[in-house]
Structure 1
Amino acid sequence: MAVRVLFVTPTWHTHFFNLVPLAWSLQTAGHDVRVACEPELVDTVTRSGLTAVPVGSDEPIRDRARRAEEDGTLPPLDMGRLAGALGGATSTAPKPSGSGGQAGGAIGDPRAKLSWEDMVWLYETVAVPRGQDRERHAVRRPGGVQPVVAAPARRLGRPHPRGPVAAGAVGAAHARVTFTVDLSFQLRSGFLWTMAQQPPERRRDPLAEWLGSWTEKFGYEYSETLVNAHATIDQFPPSFGGDYGASHLNLRYVPYNGPAVIPDWLNEPPPAPRVLMTLGVSMSDWQELQVMSIERVQEVLDSVAGLDMELVLTLPTAFREKLDRVPRNTRIVEFAPFHAVLPTCAAMIHHGGAGTFYNALLAGTPQLLITKVPDALHKRAYLAETGAGLSIPPDEVTGPKVRESLARLLDDPSFRAGAERIRREVLDQPTPNGLVPELERLAARHGPA
């Protein structure tokens, strides 16, 4: 029987891209699939061939966040503190059974446990205010589409209430799709465990209070299902993070990078080992996520100019024009379809974004990670443990360090062997088509009678 499926996506188009193949599979299986998104993402959704349902403010999320930071309603995001706090939070609670000792991606990198004050800070300063700013105008009782399976995507430590609140309002099944090691589940487990150790007068739960205010509007009570869902869909190989819930569904990552055209240069064999370098989001946006200034990019290009390789660097035209020189072994492009380019590459340098990391794992490409994303500790530890790559903290990046690390990736075959082991593990996971029957059963168990 056909069911109605509502995907709820973060506003960043690259995070939506990670949902597209699963949405396609449900749609081609005969189900009615819609994507709830903010207006600025509508064109991105419809270009993927899916049906968009715009909700929320017409003001772009970047402008809304900047305005909220300026007027004090949204505390500035300290990415360094957030990364450290999430690392600590995920090692606070006992590891769930069945995790195989790998919970949280904590593969041999010890992290201090968080205090109760730090735990409360994570929810009060990071999760709830930022969620409130995004969702203030975005949650409404579903109309027209009654979701039977609501699949909200989660960003790290920051809940998106639209999907779970809508699912609860109509009695629908609710699944989460993670973008990395399940920090949301671990953070919540750690918080509840730590709260239970506090005297009763000190116990408070900002997340439950916030989500409870939404469920009250729609006539039902808050439960932990809003946070942890009926099932979690995980696109990373099991070695990355382990099992964090009773209903943990593995899914093979299938790349979708938006509309793509194969460039002419990709039809020819590379003249030397090819290296792809990408810095992710536009260097003019979200400065807290930038890993290199344009001056540092120039230093890196100068330092690797003598290596026997072809460097393909994705860089917006406005920033390319700020470079003083481009070495002969470097090709600068505005965009590169990762799923087509990476199989031709000997290595990749990147900023640690979810889609970029997924693509490199799938292609079996050794990685040099230069990242300040919240799950940086986990990704760096994973590459070190599996031998699939190297990393440099952004504040330690220099041209010579990048050259040294890149030369190791190109010269030492063990990195390719480590990356290939992960690739085989990725390919062993169920495809989106293979997961559809499980989601149909989930809808039957938890959806409307």
Structure 2
Amino acid sequence: MRVLFTVSAWKGHWYPLVPLGWALQASGHEVRVACAPSQGEDLARAGLTPVPVLGELDMVFLARLQNVWNAQAGRWPYAGLPPHPVTGAPLRSLSEFSFADFARESGARLAGPTRVSHDAAVDLARRWRPDLVVHELLSMEGLLAARVLGVPAVLHLWGPAGTHEDEPGLRLRPEDPTGSFARYGVGELGPDLVEHVVDPCPRALRPRTSARRLPMRYVPYNGPAYGGPGHNGSGDGNLGHNGSSYGGLGHDGSGDGGPGHNGPDRGGPGAAAPGEPAGSARPRVCVVWGNSVARMVGPQAGVLPTVVEAAAGLDVEVVVTANAADAAALGPLPPNVRVLENRPLHQVLPGCAAVVHHGGAGVLMTALAAGVPQLALPCAMDQFLNGRRLAASGAGLTVPAHRADVPRTRQALTELLERPAHRTAAEELRREMLALPSPLRLVADLEELAAR
């Protein structure tokens, strides 16, 4: 059969879809990925066939705009104001970005590219005639194309955020501000228009949706290369999705990675290699942070030095995955802290007693697949939702980033390390995820769906 994927212009949104694309191809099916031109090269290097016809939706602008809306509604938790949606500079007052600015900028940055994507996806689908369409939460042009052709559409979720979330200030429910769905005569876009979802989550973190669930084991994927900017486990270019790595199609979820990238390391002498048991009796703590969040939230999201100081003050071995710029900003490191660049996270997590991160879906799901207890320090977007569901599962704790000073972070990390219940819950969730169908097994369900 022919399967059309549609993806948004943000790598962290489509990384989770790659293993399913591989599985379909390995089963003999044709796969094409409709994307924005900026995503074409990375998709090709990932082993999928891109069709770069979609609009370039400005995801950074979209996230900044949402932050300004939240601040105007009194839902901004930080002392400083969010960045200006266009320039990225800190706002001096909320009136600095007006409704007139929104109307002008949203037309060029949001409505225009969205309409281009809708029309391009429909045109491509009419010409290529797919039997099935797979899309993600911010690429609803796939659902539109499927409706126009009368073929099934499947929404591939990233993690705990579903189609029917009622999180205040989180705008992830499917909507169509351009009116394209009505223009093509397929009704109004809303959450209930989504009929099938690929759900990679264990029950405790299950996304809210009215759609039929297609459970699939989470297989980590970190991008088309281990080296280079944005592919270092901390990920620049991921909307909170920075914890994936290469994994086999039917693998057990901890990844197969192949030969690891020997990226530069710095820090304490004699530290054990990632992916191996710790070289000392001290527990190992992994700290994962990326600079993509700071582009959307501003300098108040830069809590990495605080986290490192909090962790380094404990009797632990600390491994920080970060890009070169973030690593350099840390300055001189304590003897028990080591920085790794260009390492897939799934190769770092085995042997770790805990992982600290900002609550993005990618690192959250990769840590769940590895069975490692987590401390989430959410900053914005879906990270707060992810953090709350993580804490409710017992497999981790959550401290909002705006409250994450050194004492509070150290206290939470100490509890995570000393309470066996967190490790037990994390291991139980890992076992549950391993029991889910692999991407290869899910292909049979998709074949059946397309044949109806």
For residues 75 and 266 of structure 1, the distance between their equivalents in structure 2, rounded to whole angstroms, comes to 37
TM-score (norm 1): 0.73
For residues 180 and 82 of structure 1, the distance between their equivalents in structure 2, rounded to whole angstroms, comes to 27
| Identity across the alignment (%) | 34
Who is 1:356 aligned against?
363
| Letter matched to residue 149 of structure 1 | L
For residues 42 and 421 of structure 1, the distance between their equivalents in structure 2, rounded to whole angstroms, comes to 38
For residues 206 and 257 of structure 1, the distance between their equivalents in structure 2, rounded to whole angstroms, comes to 26
1:403 aligns with 2:400: no
Contact 1:165–1:215, Cα closer than 8 Å, also in 2? no
Equivalent residue in structure 2 for 1:345, among 352, 358, 364: 352
For residues 136 and 142 of structure 2, the distance between their equivalents in structure 1, rounded to whole angstroms, comes to 8
What SS class does the counterpart of residue 4 from structure 2 fall into? Answer: strand
Equivalent residue in structure 1 for 2:289, among 266, 275, 279: 279
In the TM superposition, residue 437 of structure 1 has moved relative to its aligned partner by: 1.2
Equivalent residue in structure 2 for 1:303, among 294, 304, 310: 310
Q: Whose helix proportion is higher, 1 or 2?
A: 1
Unaligned runs of 5+ in 2: 77-102, 168-172, 227-258, 263-272
Deviations along 1:146-169, one digit per CA (max 9) or x if unpaired, are 2221111004xxxx3311122122
Structure 1 range deviating more: 387-396 or 175-184: 175-184
What SS class does the counterpart of residue 151 from structure 1 fall into? Answer: strand
In the TM superposition, residue 430 of structure 1 has moved relative to its aligned partner by: 1.2
1:266 aligns with 2:274: yes
What SS class does the counterpart of residue 411 from structure 2 fall into? Answer: helix
Deviations along 1:405-433, one digit per CA (max 9) or x if unpaired, are 11222222211101011111111211111
TM-score (norm 2): 0.73
Question: For residues 377 and 270 of structure 1, do their structure 2 counterparts lie closer, same or farther at Cα, with a shift above 3 Å needed?
Answer: same
For residues 61 and 275 of structure 1, the distance between their equivalents in structure 2, rounded to whole angstroms, comes to 35
Who is 2:215 aligned against?
250
Question: For residues 128 and 181 of structure 1, do their structure 2 counterparts lie closer, same or farther at Cα, with a shift above 3 Å needed?
Answer: farther
Equivalent residue in structure 2 for 1:175, among 140, 145, 154: 154
What SS class does the counterpart of residue 416 from structure 1 fall into? Answer: helix
For residues 42 and 136 of structure 2, the distance between their equivalents in structure 1, rounded to whole angstroms, comes to 16
In the TM superposition, residue 234 of structure 1 has moved relative to its aligned partner by: 0.8
Question: For residues 146 and 368 of structure 1, do their structure 2 counterparts lie closer, same or farther at Cα, with a shift above 3 Å needed?
Answer: same
| Letter matched to residue 173 of structure 1 | P
Who is 2:47 aligned against?
49
In the TM superposition, residue 53 of structure 1 has moved relative to its aligned partner by: 0.7
Question: For residues 211 and 357 of structure 1, do their structure 2 counterparts lie closer, same or farther at Cα, with a shift above 3 Å needed?
Answer: same
What SS class does the counterpart of residue 325 from structure 1 fall into? Answer: coil
Who is 2:84 aligned against?
none
Who is 1:135 aligned against?
114
| Letter matched to residue 58 of structure 2 | I
Question: For residues 62 and 175 of structure 1, do their structure 2 counterparts lie closer, same or farther at Cα, with a shift above 3 Å needed?
Answer: closer
Contact 2:159–2:362, Cα closer than 8 Å, also in 1? no
Who is 1:195 aligned against?
none
Who is 1:61 aligned against?
58
1:213 aligns with 2:180: yes
Who is 1:200 aligned against?
none
Deviations along 1:302-349, one digit per CA (max 9) or x if unpaired, are 333232222111222123223332111111122321122112211000
For residues 299 and 372 of structure 1, the distance between their equivalents in structure 2, rounded to whole angstroms, comes to 14
Deviations along 1:46-79, one digit per CA (max 9) or x if unpaired, are 111110110234x68357x38x98xxxx676445
> How many pairs are equivalent?
372
Question: For residues 380 and 269 of structure 1, do their structure 2 counterparts lie closer, same or farther at Cα, with a shift above 3 Å needed?
Answer: closer
